[in-house]
Chain A
């Protein structure tokens, strides 16, 4: 089950990064960056 959730997080990270580069509004980009921190830390099983 852990591997499935790893894949889900990976899928969402790819989506978030794509969205970060497409988005033109600065504060929305900041919001995405804030959310990304959590996803990276969980992807690498740090937190």
Chain B
């Protein structure tokens, strides 16, 4: 007996096809975030390795990020620069890219990881309405970069626990299990994010890094912004650098890393390795809770009328005018701070001096834009 196909079955079939089509259309857009960014390392590059060279378990995982190594001919200090711990904080990421595409090192060693949480670059946060990428103009054309999420992609690390207990035993909300800067010192057999953290710790130990820098951005309403956050082992260095920055008319806050706040780079790097540990913050309106309409322009130009209003109400921890805080200014700040910290390191301990050539000058970047120092797209 043939059962008659009823109307609601046909509707169901149509809806199922529609669902499939919508999955296809949006899926293509979501998957476009997995296309990797292209970087053009400077001729000074000595070796390009992967984090899995330091922690083999990461091999072929979505967390196995590139490590760019610049070795000088003379012995000196060892420096690690991390960008992209939070892929929605582009100034840190772009500063790292700018350095790896320009510098040469004649003394000491520099390791640059531009996309510390590579998985976070492959998706966007729900509810934030952010664009998937942003572009910067170079003399030879426009370069595009991904604008990702603060957290590891949930399809790479699933499910989140109800509560995330960090290595120090503190409870955090479950989603923080995908936050690289809450996962240090990491776990060999932990979640992907903890393994990335573990890999970075291994790099710091094996390469005997003297100074480790983690480049971030924060919302303008957040108290720790335009700041050097330092582990107690780096207090003197941070003080020297901040004085140098003040002399260049760059206001910067000094924030000691609170001993009770665990899992963060500036705490655990310093506690678990001999390296000095410092985190740098600039002010990014596209990152904040008061932001207006999210857009590529908000990321690059950093102009937001909501923040102008908030500034007038005295709610911000940085000066904010209608000109906004563009990414070139934020990157210039990071560059100036890195430069000041490197010269501070030389002053403190001449054996750890690092000589860097072609360092993109902060002032020029601020005045003429980042594109001047970015390799044109091929």
- Do A and B make up one complex? yes
Interface: B59 (CB within 8 A) = no
Interface: B15 (CB within 8 A) = yes
Q: Contact at B15–A30, with CB atoms within 8 Å?
A: yes
Interface: B206 (CB within 8 A) = no
Chain B residues lying within 8 Å of A37, measured Cβ to Cβ, are: 19, 22-23, 26
Chain A residues lying within 8 Å of B40, measured Cβ to Cβ, are: none
Partner of A21, one of B12, B19, B22: B12
Partner of B27, one of A17, A32, A41: A41
Count residues on chain A whose CB falls below 8 Å from chain B CBs.
22
Output the least CB separation between B128 and chain A (Å): 14
Chain A residues lying within 8 Å of B12, measured Cβ to Cβ, are: 20-21, 23, 29
CB within 8 Å of B: which A2-19 residues: 2, 5, 17
Query: Which residue on chain B has the smallest CB distance to residue A9?
Result: B158
Q: Contact at B27–A5, with CB atoms within 8 Å?
A: no
Chain A residues lying within 8 Å of B313, measured Cβ to Cβ, are: none
Q: Can you spell out 29 A-B residue pairs with CB atoms less than 8 angstroms apart?
A: A1-B159, A5-B159, A20-B12, A20-B15, A20-B16, A21-B9, A21-B12, A23-B8, A24-B8, A26-B8, A26-B11, A29-B8, A29-B11, A29-B12, A32-B15, A33-B19, A37-B19, A37-B23, A37-B26, A40-B20, A41-B23, A41-B27, A42-B155, A44-B27, A46-B30, A46-B155, A47-B26, A47-B27, A47-B123
The 4 closest A-B pairs by CB, nearest first: A33-B15, A45-B155, A21-B12, A46-B27
